[in-house]
């Protein structure tokens, strides 16, 4: 059985994995770059080892350094989190060679699902619906034009090795076909060293719905229902919820069965996610499989009541799944928002820097997974996500109200964050009513842009408070120099004077 | 004690008329307020006004500049004393448009697209800076000539650090 | 419908109530004593009014001041929280006279249940099992002796108007009868102005199990299952959990029905709790009814999925209950611990003072209801409870592991807290195995006392860290005076130097 | 730089042999350690030693006294320099037992059971103080005579404030 796990990651996900290790009585080991010496995952772990300089490609992405650290501390297993090496088949293989358990699927599963075209072929074979399109990589323009005419416009051209929106082109009209394909090919070559592209029917205004699966090494595979992830900005998820507001029990059952079939097709054994695109009539198509834990896994944990990291570790320990499909049900409604260090009122400009002050939202139905603390300087080298706020309530309506309340109470100063933007999402009618697709953000600009609606009174209160702070600092300096005491009258609250005279 | 305060584009006089412990009477412009103001955490004030409770967070930007966060809004506030008034009058006289390029946040210089002495057109990208896996392009606001490039590609930079100076 | 609620309380419960108000779109009003101007409930509320000096009997217990504040801000309703005026029938009546909704039961229910003897008679009438004993107050010693001989020793003598352990005497032997009764009477007279006592059979090593009920004004009444509250120190609950580890489905059903019958007997309409004492064979007896929200209500909220404060407000709004008994089930296991500002290693001495630093436990299955913040000075005038930590997991075993993990991560410095003691409770075999009764703490002293088992290494690390801090302060002072800069090398982490050289 | 350090009842020499950024070599008694020590929050240190990660919280009690919290333990640590050694030698000579009564925490004086000049016996309650709804009794450790009572019933008191002085 696994007794010590090295977590090859940083930030909130490293801590989230270590929490489960601690509950299971497993020692946790942090690895850190030089920029992360004071990061919370180093502080939370039982052990910690430096694996190189700040840039990820000199630390968190260097397989040799991570393997070295794992051997030095005699870790039985490595958990890769998400991002970094989590979907690197070479890393999974290397772990196996070194006799270290990789907590994730086999390199075969990662490789098969990592290449879009191979994945598509597997899914066709497994009877999982895929978006109409090419089943082989295309390099010649003429062939591409022929295929596009068969499928019918609009289509999406995608890099075969791609991800994250790179090497993608949407083609609406015939005249765009040739330049579109060429642009996608050259981007794909630059980004992934491979100019193969493939072509898919473009689903207009789609929903992005994914299914969580868990599979063990004994042939058991279950799904943990769906997550609705259609609120996206530049292909990055911003808000996720479960259940999906547009789902029906019948479609859920069918999609769940297809998700299980997809996982089985690659002999999957760990936690994984099958992403589908879904049109307004609930026609759904396999998009890709993420062969790792997802950022948004907590909403599933909350509604289904399963600790996904614990299940990953149990599967890595060769244990059979402890849940059967019929044991699981969706209980209530959960929503997650991602808090980024960025300025939503200034084109989402990244905002690294020093966190002055945090007030975390607490109370009934609120989960907060973060890693920053007061006085912590958010480094500029990594992903700007600083925390995730997850709420649960018996109904969707109440969950939205609870998220508003939690965002109201959540204060981080010193850096700009996306909290105000997320509050506006929670107040946008289309979101409140559950009528939205992946065009939500572009379709709802009037609700999502900052408003200059402050009253005279609130502006005056803001100005007065700043002024009082300024004056009190001047007075306190004067007082210190005159009598050596730094006690300021301005802070002398709670004294015996009656405060309610006014 | 002749202070003015600027919030958004409004500049008005401000004066503390009276104080007793945490209770204050303040005049701003032609409005008078009686408030109960307490600093509850470093930089965080609890303000009661006519029974309403406000949590106000102050982030000092410079000596006399604050970013002030209220529940739903964020304001930039400048305190203007005699010194500040003098500085402002000088500044507005000598340069009225962008003469340096800098970034609001720390990051790393990815690409520099200009050389010293080069003429650039309005809207032309001058420098590309990366932070948190995102690249941002910084462009010239007007037609200009580059006087000095203060950084090189690969440099780590601080927020508000001058990167490129125009003539 | 209620649009504005004045919360006549402070601390975590005031904030907890206001959170639900915010979710329901109801304005919340704080009242505060002069010692609480900077308290979190004042900051969290929409409005706040001072109601008097620090001592509770000059502020939080002064009905006139609270009513004045409510009228001044035009509050529709008052939520009393727990403690203070929450079980004061006069306050409930006064609210009614003033046209303000009291969010709680009628004064009739409070009065009936507030007097132990009346309550006992009501329960006998409603067929709810009560502890064998007297059904009328006793003032004469002779009569008491006769009754005690009928019931059989051991017996407990209790003040009729009592609560909180005052005016109680346990009598084991005949010789103790007379002095015991006299002592109880004189304590009762001093504490409650009434020397009537009653006599009950003493249940040896009992369990304390209570049932949550909800009743509306339309005759609907349901229970939300049990809470096990046997971990007590000096009659104060320390740890609560649900489900009870000793409960069976049959007894749960029967006790639940009796709890509903108890509430119906006083026409109860709000959230309330029926406390039972239970022996090792699951014989159970009505102990008392708490006609308010309990401190430990969150474990029920977590396992049953109901926001009890929201239900209280809905009931006060004359709405019918939205749940039927058959809709409710217990899902998984929840545990709550109460964090007190007290020194568990020094006879639980109270430890008010200034909070320097807090690290709150986060993550999957953890709820934290607190009110202190960094820099806050905990006043000496009120209850020492500073927060409650509630965990949930699918099984009891996992819930205990999660609580250990949460306590591990929960740091409050500046004051002493009961966190180390609670960690020891979680590691005590009788608790881990669920074999405990109200004598748990006295029976498990060897596990609950602090241990002096620190290794040489950890002692050296502690000493070195203190020394480094001391020296760095001296150096930083020197450096400031010599060149005006306060940057210390000791804090220069994250710089370009390689940190992994050693 | 001749420092000693006392933790629990152990007093030993301590010396920083070497430092380089956050990396330190420290000798305490006859043991040598190589550590990586970083102050991550005010008063909170992250310490790495042989790969093990410790979170250490320091609460300064006085100038040279700390309460140090590690994960499972709490220690009182005294830094002893030349001045402290001198103070200790004076103090141990002049008074070796309890001559004043004080409380560890702030509170309110409920009852004073002695008067100035009164003789009290060991174990006799001298004063009762309440904090957070709990009353605590403070007793004389030995037979004594009350020299001075510094507070009166109803007074609010600070932690460690002298309340009653014996002769």
**Residue A125, number of CB atoms within 10 A of its CB:** 10
**Tens-digit pLDDT profile for residues D31-71:** 999 999 999 988 899 999 999 999 999 988 877 899 999 88
Per-residue CA distances from C29 to B18, B117, C9 (Å): 27, 64, 10
Q: Cβ contacts (< 8 Å) between D3 and chain C: which residues?
A: 467
Sign of CA dihedral A226, A230, A231, A236: positive
- Cα separation, B113 vs B92, in Å, equals 30
- Verify whether residue A292 is a known catalytic residue: yes
Angle (nearest 5°) at CA A419 between A418 and A423: 120
Angle (nearest 5°) at CA C474 between C469 and C476: 90
- Cα separation, A41 vs A77, in Å, equals 17
pLDDT range class, residue D98, cuts 50, 70, 90: low
pLDDT range class, residue B102, cuts 50, 70, 90: confident
Interface chains of chain D (3 or more CB pairs under 8 Å): A, C
Contacts (Cβ under 8 Å, ≥6 apart) of C104? C79, C80, C86, C92, C110, C270, C291, C292, C312
Interface chains of chain C (3 or more CB pairs under 8 Å): A, B, D
Question: pTM for the whole thing?
Answer: 0.87
What's the half-sphere exposure (Cβ side, CA atoms, 13 Å) at C66?
29
Taking the mean position of all CA atoms in its chain, how far away is CA C92? 21
Cβ within 8 Å, pair C408-A22: yes
Whether A185 contacts A148, CB under 8 Å: no
Q: What are the structure tokens assigned to A77, written together? A: 């297993």
pLDDT at B90: 61
Q: Where are the beta strands (DSSP E) in B42-90?
A: 44-49, 52-62, 65-69, 74-80
Percentage helix, strand, coil, to 5, in chain C?
A: 40, 25, 35
Whether C361 contacts C410, CB under 8 Å: yes
Three-state SS at C150: helix
Q: Does A496 touch chain B (CB under 8 A)?
A: no
Q: Does C186 touch chain D (CB under 8 A)?
A: no
Known catalytic residues of C are 292
Residue numbers in chain A where pLDDT is lower than 70: 162-165, 478-502
Phi and psi angles of residue A410, each rounded to the nearest 5 degrees, phi first: -90, 115
Pairing of strands C166-171, C284-290: unpaired
Cβ within 8 Å, pair A352-B105: yes
Q: Cβ contacts (< 8 Å) between B39 and chain A: which residues?
A: 469, 472, 490-491
Domain A207-448 falls under CATH 3.30.470.20: yes
Give the residue from C34, C41, C42, C358 with the most B CB atoms within 10 Å of its CB, the best one to mutate. Answer: C42
pLDDT range class, residue B162, cuts 50, 70, 90: confident
Complex prediction ipTM:
0.85
Torsion angle, alpha carbons of D12, D13, D18, D19, to 10: 60
pLDDT for residue B98 is more than 70: no
**Tens-digit pLDDT profile for residues D111-125:** 899 999 899 988 888
Cβ within 8 Å, pair B40-C73: no
The string over A405-427, giving b where at least 16 C-beta atoms fall within 10 Å of a residue's C-beta and e elsewhere, is: bbbbbbbbbbbbbbbbbbbbbbe
Q: Cβ contacts (< 8 Å) between D52 and chain A: which residues?
A: 46-47
Residues comprising chain D, all counted: 167
Phi and psi angles of residue A226, each rounded to the nearest 5 degrees, phi first: -100, 165
Cβ within 8 Å, pair D49-C461: yes
Q: Does C239 touch chain B (CB under 8 A)?
A: no
Give the residue from D30, D53, D57 with the most C CB atoms within 10 Å of its CB, the best one to mutate. Answer: D57
Nearest to A38 among C38, C301, C493 (CB): C493
Sign of CA dihedral D48, D54, D60, D61: negative
Q: What are the structure tokens assigned to B87, written together? A: 């500085």
Whether C102 contacts C78, CB under 8 Å: yes
Compute the count of residue pairs across chains A and C with CB atoms less than 8 Å apart.
129
pLDDT at D131: 83
Domain residue limits, chain A: 4-103, 132-201, 207-448, 455-501
Interface chains of chain B (3 or more CB pairs under 8 Å): A, C
* Distance to chain C for B103, nearest Cα, Å: 21
Q: Does C47 touch chain B (CB under 8 A)?
A: yes
A230 CB burial (10 A radius; 0-12, 13-18, 19+): buried
Sign of CA dihedral D49, D52, D57, D61: negative
- Cα separation, D42 vs D64, in Å, equals 17
DSSP structural state of residue A379 = P
Q: Does C190 touch chain D (CB under 8 A)?
A: no
* Distance to chain C for D125, nearest Cα, Å: 17
- Cα separation, A112 vs A275, in Å, equals 15
- Cα separation, A312 vs A322, in Å, equals 12
Residue A128's region, left for phi above 0, alpha for psi from -120 to 50, else beta, is beta
pLDDT at D1: 53
- Cα separation, C4 vs C28, in Å, equals 6
pLDDT for residue B134 is more than 90: no
Q: Does A455 touch chain B (CB under 8 A)?
A: no
Catalytic residue chosen out of the listed positions A16, A292, A302, A424? A292
Compute the count of residue pairs across chains C and D with CB atoms less than 8 Å apart.
164
**Tens-digit pLDDT profile for residues B19-40:** 999 999 999 999 999 999 999 9
The nearest alpha carbon in chain C to B40 belongs to: C38
Tell me the fold of A4-103: Rossmann fold (3.40.50)
Contacts (Cβ under 8 Å, ≥6 apart) of A285? A129, A130, A131, A203, A276, A277, A278
* Distance to chain C for A24, nearest Cα, Å: 7
The string over C70-105, giving b where at least 16 C-beta atoms fall within 10 Å of a residue's C-beta and e elsewhere, is: beebebbbbbbbbbbbbbbbebbbbbeeeebbbbbb
CATH number of this structure's domain C132-201, picked from the four choices 3.20.20.140, 3.40.50.2300, 3.30.1490.20, 3.30.200.20: 3.30.1490.20
| Residues 134 through 163 of chain C touching chain B, CB cutoff 8 Å | none
pLDDT at A162: 67
Cβ within 8 Å, pair C471-D74: no
Per-residue CA distances from C259 to C87, C89, C186, C278 (Å): 19, 22, 33, 14
Three-state SS at A21: helix
Compute the count of residue pairs across chains A and D with CB atoms less than 8 Å apart.
37
Q: Cβ contacts (< 8 Å) between A42 and chain D: which residues?
A: 46, 48, 53
pLDDT at D88: 67
Q: Does C73 touch chain B (CB under 8 A)?
A: yes
Whether D150 contacts D162, CB under 8 Å: yes
Phi and psi angles of residue C417, each rounded to the nearest 5 degrees, phi first: -135, 170
Whether C177 contacts C157, CB under 8 Å: no
Phi and psi angles of residue C254, each rounded to the nearest 5 degrees, phi first: -65, -45
The nearest alpha carbon in chain C to B57 belongs to: C43
Average pLDDT along chain C, 502 residues, taken 10 residues at a time: 98 97 97 96 96 95 98 97 96 97 97 90 95 81 85 86 74 88 84 82 91 98 98 93 97 98 97 96 94 98 98 98 97 97 88 87 93 90 94 98 94 90 96 96 93 88 95 78 42 36 37
Helix axes C116-125, C107-114, angle to 10 degrees: 100
* Distance to chain A for C307, nearest Cα, Å: 8
Whether A369 contacts A390, CB under 8 Å: yes
Domains of chain B by start residue, with CATH = 2-80 (3.30.700.30), 98-166 (2.40.50.100)
Whether D145 contacts D117, CB under 8 Å: yes
pLDDT at C501: 37
What is the overall mean pLDDT for chain D? 86
Whether B134 contacts B125, CB under 8 Å: no
* Distance to chain C for D4, nearest Cα, Å: 9
Cβ within 8 Å, pair A298-C364: yes
Taking the mean position of all CA atoms in its chain, how far away is CA C277? 18
Q: Cβ contacts (< 8 Å) between B21 and chain A: which residues?
A: 489, 492-493, 495, 497, 499
Cβ within 8 Å, pair D107-C490: no
- Cα separation, C365 vs C391, in Å, equals 5
pLDDT at B52: 95
- Cα separation, D24 vs C468, in Å, equals 9
- Cα separation, A3 vs A73, in Å, equals 12
Percentage helix, strand, coil, to 5, in chain A?
A: 40, 25, 35
Helix axes C89-97, C63-72, angle to 10 degrees: 30
Cβ within 8 Å, pair A45-D51: no
Cβ within 8 Å, pair C376-B42: no
Torsion angle, alpha carbons of A353, A358, A364, A368, to 10: 30
Q: Does C467 touch chain D (CB under 8 A)?
A: yes
Q: Does C411 touch chain B (CB under 8 A)?
A: no
**Tens-digit pLDDT profile for residues A22-33:** 999 999 999 999
């Amino acid at each position: 059985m696994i007794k010590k796990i090295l977590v090859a990651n940083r930030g909130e996900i490293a801590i989230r994995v270590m929490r489960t290790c601690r509950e299971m009585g497993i020692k946790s080991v942090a690895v850190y770059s030089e920029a992360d010496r004071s990061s919370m995952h180093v502080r939370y772990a039982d052990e910690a080892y430096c694996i190189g300089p700040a840039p990820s490609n000199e630390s968190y992405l260097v397989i040799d350094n991570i393997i070295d650290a794992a051997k030095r501390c005699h870790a039985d297993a490595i958990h890769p989190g998400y991002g970094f090496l989590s979907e690197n088949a070479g890393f999974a293989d290397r772990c196996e060679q070194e006799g270290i358990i990789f907590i994730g699927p086999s390199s075969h599963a990662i490789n098969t699902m990592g290449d879009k075209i191979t994945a598509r072929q597997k899914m066709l074979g497994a009877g999982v619906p895929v978006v109409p399109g090419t089943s082989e990589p295309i390099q010649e323009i003429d062939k591409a034009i022929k295929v596009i005419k068969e499928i019918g416009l609009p289509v999406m051209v995608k890099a075969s090795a791609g991800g994250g929106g790179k090497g993608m082109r949407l083609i609406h009209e015939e005249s765009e076909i040739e330049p579109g394909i060429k642009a996608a090919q050259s981007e794909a070559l630059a980004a992934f060293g491979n100019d193969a592209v493939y072509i898919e029917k473009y689903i207009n205004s789609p929903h992005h719905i994914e299914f969580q699966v868990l599979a063990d090494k004994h042939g058991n595979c279950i799904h943990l229902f769906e997550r609705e992830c259609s609120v996206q900005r530049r292909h990055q998820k911003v808000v996720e919820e479960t259940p999906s507001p547009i789902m029906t029990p019948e479609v859920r059952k069918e999609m769940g069965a297809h998700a299980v079939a997809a996982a089985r097709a690659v002999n999957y054994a760990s936690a994984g996610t099958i992403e589908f695109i879904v049109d307004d009539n609930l026609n759904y198509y396999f998009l890709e499989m993420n062969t790792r834990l997802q950022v948004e896994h907590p909403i599933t944990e909350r509604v289904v009541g399963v600790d996904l990291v614990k299940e990953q570790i149990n599967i890595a320990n060769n244990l059979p799944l402890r849940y059967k499909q019929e044991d699981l049900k969706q209980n209530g409604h959960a929503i997650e928002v991602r808090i980024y260090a960025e300025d939503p009122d200034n084109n989402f400009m990244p905002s690294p820097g020093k966190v002055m002050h945090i007030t975390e939202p607490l109370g009934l139905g609120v989960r907060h997974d973060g890693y920053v603390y007061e006085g912590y300087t958010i480094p500029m080298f990594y992903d700007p996500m600083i925390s995730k706020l997850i709420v649960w309530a018996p109904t969707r309506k109440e969950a939205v109200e609870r998220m508003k309340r939690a965002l109201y109470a959540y204060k981080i100063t010193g850096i700009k964050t996306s909290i105000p933007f997320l509050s506006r999402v929670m107040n946008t009618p289309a979101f409140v009513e559950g009528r939205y697709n992946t065009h939500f953000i572009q379709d709802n600009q009037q609700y999502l842009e900052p408003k200059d609606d402050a009253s005279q009174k609130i502006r005056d209160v803001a100005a007065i408070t700043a002024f009082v702070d300024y004056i009190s600092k001047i007075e306190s300096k004067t007082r210190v120099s005159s009598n050596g005491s730094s006690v300021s009258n301005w802070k002398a609250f709670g004294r015996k004077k009656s405060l309610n005279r006014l | 004690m002749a202070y003015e305060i600027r919030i958004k584009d409004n500049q008005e006089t401000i004066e503390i008329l009276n104080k007793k412990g945490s209770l204050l009477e303040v005049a701003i412009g032609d409005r008078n307020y009686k408030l109960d103001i307490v600093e509850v955490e470093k930089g965080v004030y609890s303000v009661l006004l006519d029974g309403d409770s406000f949590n106000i967070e102050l982030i000092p930007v410079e000596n006399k500049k604050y970013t002030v966060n209220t529940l739903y809004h964020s304001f930039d506030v400048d305190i203007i004393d005699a010194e500040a008034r003098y500085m402002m009058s000088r500044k507005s006289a000598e340069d009225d448009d962008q003469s340096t390029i800098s970034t609001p946040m720390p990051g790393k210089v990815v690409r520099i697209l200009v050389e010293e002495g080069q003429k650039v057109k309005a809207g032309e990208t001058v420098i590309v800076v990366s932070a948190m896996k995102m690249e941002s392009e910084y462009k010239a606001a007007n037609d200009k000539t580059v006087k000095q490039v203060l950084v090189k590609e690969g440099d780590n930079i601080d927020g508000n650090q001058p990167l490129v100076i125009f003539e």
